[in-house]
Amino acid sequence: MLNRYRASFRRYLEALVRPLARAGVTPNQITAVGLIISLVGAYFFYRGEQLVGALVLLLGSLVDALDGTLARMTGKSSRVGAFLDSTFDRISDGAVLFGIALGGLVSWKVAFLAFMGSYLVSYERCRAELAGSGKLAVGIGERAERLIVIIVTALFGYVRYGVYIVAIIAWITVFQRMVVAYGRLREGKS
């Protein structure tokens, strides 16, 4: 949902990226830094420090938004970079939910439901697009929305409810994507 508004933030992201491009920083380096920051955020959640975890995760999310912008600005977009970015995003998502559960901030059952729903959202998009559905950026719980829910609820000390919300919106998105992909792929067969 929020990915629609990414273009309106492009000039701000480009302003942040210009000095990095001049310094010779590569998109893959930014991707790796974003993952490391998210893992640090997961560690703070494990320690029960929701506010710090949320702030670190917010920083990691900002850094994560820069790699694609840097790749486009410098002409260094690549399939390898896209693959790394997607893989590191999944590691980050899993680590954050794991850290929250390991820290006792939410039950493992709920964290697992949120984890599985989040992964299925990404998997469905990849698999459906490979099958010929066209771009499948649909649903109320894409990655940006899920991160915002975790960050905002953690800022106020209620990350437990954030994980519940993430589980719900992720699974709603799973079913939304399933319906849309099924319809598109079925039409493509006729």
- Considering 64, 67, 85, 89, which one is annotated as catalytic? 89
Virtual CA dihedral for 55, 38, 123, 178, nearest 10 degrees? -10
Residue 82: both structure tokens together: 């896209």
| Residue 78 phi, psi dihedral angles, 5° rounding | -150, 160
Q: What is the crossing angle of helices 50-74 and 27-46, to 10°?
A: 170
What is the C-alpha to C-alpha distance for residues 24 and 176, in angstroms, rounded to an integer?
41
Closest CA to 152 of 70, 63, 55, 60: 55
What is the C-alpha to C-alpha distance for residues 190 and 187, in angstroms, rounded to an integer?
6
- Active site (annotated) includes residue 89: yes
| Residue 23 phi, psi dihedral angles, 5° rounding | -80, -5
Q: Is 48 left (phi over 0), alpha (psi -120 to 50) or beta?
A: left
Which residues are annotated as catalytic?
89
